[in-house]
Chains A and B, each alone.
Chain A
Amino acid sequence: SQWGEENLQALSIQEGEDVTMNCSYKTYTTVVQWYRQKSGKGPAQLILIRSNEREKRSGRLRATLDTSSQSSSLSITGTLATDTAVYFCATDRTNTGKLTFGDGTVLTVKP
């Protein structure tokens, strides 16, 4: 799992497997956003989940949010080699749109 200010994590799986990445945050946030960054590109948003939502889905992606434990997860079902990337969670500590990013999870999906 990744934390707001802690170490980069790495996962390596085979194509077709499901994967879940976790994120814990330390301060209040109104929203958790999940971003994906592929090599040579900037991060791109995948899912935004608000503090009054427990779960959000988008295609093969599913994000959950537990505000009581200050944690979120991102699951990908039926992974593809093209899902290989770094995945970040981001929180909005000041409720202004200014995001604080976690350290990220490096996901490698082997074909």
Chain B
Amino acid sequence: DAGVTQTPRHEVAEKGQTIILKCEPVSGHNDLFWYRQTKIQGLELLSYFRSKSLMEDGGAFKDRFKAEMLNSSFSTLKIQPTEPKDSAVYLCASSLGGANTEVFFGKGTRLTVV
């Protein structure tokens, strides 16, 4: 029974590079979320999809962050160009959708930008 799968688990990028993080949600889930987690800011929502449609593309993250969901079982988060302040853990999560539903998280991708 697969949960949310994220790859890679760790990524090291040089400043200015383009990186793509990948996520496979739980099969049958309608909602998909990308969060960024840092010790200072905590969990911040980057993007939110419902049935593959982009519902929210977090304001402050719009310029260099782009999330896509080309099919119901795969999503990517592209950061272009990367900056050292992007160093964080990026979490993908999915749920059946709607209020009062449990959100299932992947293990995250730890990104370090040098």
A positions within 8 Å CB-CB of B: 8, 30-31, 33, 40-45, 48, 50, 88, 90, 92, 95-104
Contacts and interface: CB of A to CB of B under 8 A. Distances in A.
A104 B42 contact: yes
B31 A42 contact: no
Interface string B92-110: 0101011111111111100
A74 to B, nearest CB: 16
Contact of B91 (A42, A95, A97, A103): A42
A42 B100 contact: no
Interface of B: 4, 31, 33, 35, 39, 42-43, 45, 48, 50, 55-56, 91, 93, 95, 97-108
A97 B98 contact: yes
Given A42-B105, A98-B33, A31 B100 contact: yes
10 contacts: A42-B91, A42-B106, A45-B103, A95-B99, A97-B101, A98-B31, A98-B45, A98-B48, A101-B42, A103-B42
Contacts of A88: 43
B42 A48 contact: no
A93 B36 CA distance: 19
B67 to A, nearest CB: 14
A95 B63 CA distance: 27
A40 B100 CA distance: 26
Given A42-B108, A44-B105, A8 B100 contact: no
Contacts of A50: 100
Contacts of B95: 97
Given A48-B102, A95-B99, A96-B98, A41 B42 contact: no
